[in-house]
Structure 1
Amino acid sequence: MSGQGALGVLVMAYGTPKDPGEIAGYYTHIRRGRPPTDEELAELTARYEAIGGVSPLAERTEAQRGAIAAALEARSGRAVPTALGQKHAPPYVEDGVRALATSGATRVVGLVLAPHYSRASVGAYHERAGAAARSAGVEYLPIDSWHLLPALVDFLAEAILDARRGLPARHKVLFSAHSLPERALAGDPYPEQLYETASAVAARVGLLPWPDWALCWQSAGRTPERWRGPDLSEVIRELGATGRAEGVLVCPQGFTADHLEVLYDLDIEARRVAENAGLAFARTRSVNADPAVMDGLAELALARAGCGGKV
């Protein structure tokens, strides 16, 4: 970048095994080097088998990175080096930083493909990327959150309008996100940002709090500690038991791509819970590589670098 050093953009995501043979190693990495038991591995493998053998997340994430790169070039008038860095699968966060430094970047914008900030998730990505950047001698510029990005709010609103058309008139919209342990949420902006996104989208669609929509949590870890609730499945069961709705529409606002927590936890498990509760079920489409959202992220990255659209 003119007068400020060459710019690179690090696009970060969770990562996923690319074939069944990688599941054990992937699970071990998530568990910080502790191999899963045979029972735990079999259960996770069964979940992948239920959605086709592997998650499409690797393909979706690369498509997102490519779309952001194309949008950066369109906005700046020249190619901007972009690299993928993942938390639990190669290329890892550190690999992405090194790739950008090798390409000549001296300033790296860090963008996590998760809209809402929490110290335990987005914050951990930035810690790793920042340490790698210091080791490589490059400046690191993190984007903490993009939960009110206009293109994201627009996308979620349109997705709700589209998905609710096939539901009974008496249905409830449940905005979901990945639960975190309560100990990790003390003073953390994550719950508030999720509520802000849901509120903005609901206002755009014309939904009223509680009668029309609620914020729920999903995919909690199986540990003895308390995780943030209410759990999505519990809310669905309660709606069915009380007769306050005839259908539910789940909007997984905390996720930006099709992956296990969407394709299994929602499309299979939550759907089964809804059917058993006598409720019609629908789920909004995922952002994936939506052009408008990816362009909005490119604009955000350039603004974070102080480029004003020019590199």
Structure 2
Amino acid sequence: MFDSVLVVSFGGPNGLPDVRPFLERVLRGRRVTPERIEAVAHHYEIFGGVSPITELTRRQAEGLQHRLSAAGRPLPVYIGMRNWHPLLEDTLTGMWREGARRAVGFIAAAQHSYSSCQQYRENVIAARTSLRENTGGDIDVTYVPSWFDHPLFIAANAAHVREAIDRLPQEVRGAARLIFTAHSIPQPMADTSLYREQLLTSGEAVARAAGIADWALVYQSRSGRPGDPWLEPDVCDYVRRARTEGLEAAVLCPIGFVCDHIEVLYDLDREAAAVCAEIGLPMARAEAVNDDPLFLDMMADVVLRTIARYEHGRPLPLVAR
């Protein structure tokens, strides 16, 4: 029944000339000050204007395709990005030309909110609408179920947490607090989703798997106006306060991200790391799941489960309007 897989991700610039056009796409329709836009542009410029998300997503897609073939389901795996090339509209057009008609959709975000999941689905619908208008064709997309608490997602994060602990000075490892980070979102958006609850579920499971009782959930990468309520506490504010309360060491785990992209590399490896150095707090940052084999196994598992679920019947189609 299914003839392809579509991995949907955020996207990122591939060089300095891409940075501002990319940010224009990301921030269109949002109330963000010019000063904040320039600050974020500078974050990308520090890394040569290249976000690792494109390469890491490519590795994830390749690993998924290899595992599907090994499982007897040799489906092509395509990548469509919300905000930069390969853009969803272009990807769906290419899929159609290559004969794809029914795809399994995998959105590269574990926990659900409007901006992390629903908006991606709306972008896919818009890309399908464009495809229908330009070719008269369409591609049905059936999404995998939630995986924020999938055992392999948990295991990959827990393994990375343990590796990070081993990078701390030996004398403070036992006292380290595991601090999970996720992208902050506006409070009203959080109130109409299970984002916080799913983050807490993911965090609790990872902490348990890593054998750590002392853990917390904080947020990062806020981009709204200062007066608008967003999820808190901010990671930098949190570590400053925790240090005054006696915290001896920290491990940061970006549980809300599946790639070490610029928001992780800058907000944690530079900004939060600088705060920790300033206050004398030993800190190690766990890698995101990236292309960890356990995470690739998880991707294959949820895709294969979706294929098996509809083996003998089609899901109700979501028709682009």
TM-score (norm 2): 0.86
* Equivalent pair of 1:256/1:287 in contact (CA under 8 Å): yes
* Cα deviations by residue, 1:199-231 (Å, 9 ceiling, x for unpaired): 1111112222xxx10111111113131100111
What's the C-alpha RMSD, in Å, of the aligned pairs? 2.3
Q: Residues of 1 paired with 2:177 and 2:33: CA distance?
A: 39
Secondary structure of the equivalent of 2:223?
Answer: coil
1:114, distance to aligned residue in structure 2 (A): 1.3
* Cα deviations by residue, 1:10-68 (Å, 9 ceiling, x for unpaired): 10111111000111111111122789887555423321233344222221121111111
* Equivalent pair of 1:217/1:231 in contact (CA under 8 Å): yes
Residue matched to 2:314:
none
Residue matched to 1:80:
75
Determine which of 202, 223, 228 is the counterpart of 2:231: 228
1:191, distance to aligned residue in structure 2 (A): 0.8
Determine which of 53, 56, 66 is the counterpart of 1:57: 53
* Equivalent pair of 2:111/2:198 in contact (CA under 8 Å): yes
Residue matched to 2:5:
9
2:20 maps to amino acid: A
Are residue 26 (structure 1) and residue 22 (structure 2) matched? yes
* Cα deviations by residue, 1:282-305 (Å, 9 ceiling, x for unpaired): 100121111221122122112113
Determine which of 246, 260, 270 is the counterpart of 1:268: 270
* Equivalent pair of 1:68/1:297 in contact (CA under 8 Å): yes
1:143, distance to aligned residue in structure 2 (A): 2.6
Q: Residues of 1 paired with 2:268 and 2:287: CA distance?
A: 12
Secondary structure of the equivalent of 2:7?
Answer: strand
Q: Structure 2 unaligned runs (5+)?
A: 312-321
Q: Which segments of structure 1 move beyond 3 Å, counting only runs of 4 or more?
A: 33-42, 130-136
Q: Residues of 2 paired with 1:30 and 1:113: CA distance?
A: 16
Residue matched to 2:205:
200
* Equivalent pair of 1:108/1:138 in contact (CA under 8 Å): yes
Secondary structure of the equivalent of 1:271?
Answer: helix
Determine which of 84, 108, 117 is the counterpart of 1:113: 108
Q: Residues of 1 paired with 2:256 and 2:241: CA distance?
A: 22
Residue matched to 1:147:
148
Residue matched to 1:138:
139
Residue matched to 1:158:
159
Secondary structure of the equivalent of 1:9?
Answer: strand
1:174, distance to aligned residue in structure 2 (A): 0.3
Residue matched to 1:259:
261
2:291 maps to amino acid: A
> Cα 1:39–1:222, aligned 2, differ >3 Å: closer, same or farther?
same
Determine which of 147, 168, 183 is the counterpart of 1:178: 183
Q: Residues of 1 paired with 2:16 and 2:103: CA distance?
A: 33
Q: Residues of 2 paired with 1:105 and 1:196: CA distance?
A: 36
* Equivalent pair of 1:176/1:251 in contact (CA under 8 Å): yes
1:149, distance to aligned residue in structure 2 (A): 1.8
Identity %: 32
> Cα 1:141–1:249, aligned 2, differ >3 Å: closer, same or farther?
same
TM-score (norm 1): 0.89
Q: Residues of 1 paired with 2:184 and 2:292: CA distance?
A: 25
* Equivalent pair of 1:15/1:90 in contact (CA under 8 Å): yes
* Equivalent pair of 2:16/2:48 in contact (CA under 8 Å): no
2:89 maps to amino acid: E
Q: Residues of 2 paired with 1:192 and 1:34: CA distance?
A: 25
* Equivalent pair of 1:126/1:142 in contact (CA under 8 Å): no
User: For structure 1, which segment, 136-145 or 176-185, has the greater mean C-alpha deviation from structure 2 after superposition?
Assistant: 136-145
1:148, distance to aligned residue in structure 2 (A): 1.3
* Equivalent pair of 1:198/1:215 in contact (CA under 8 Å): yes
* Equivalent pair of 1:82/1:100 in contact (CA under 8 Å): no
User: For structure 1, which segment, 187-196 or 119-128, has the greater mean C-alpha deviation from structure 2 after superposition?
Assistant: 119-128
* Equivalent pair of 1:123/1:144 in contact (CA under 8 Å): no
* Equivalent pair of 2:14/2:49 in contact (CA under 8 Å): no
> Cα 1:142–1:277, aligned 2, differ >3 Å: closer, same or farther?
same
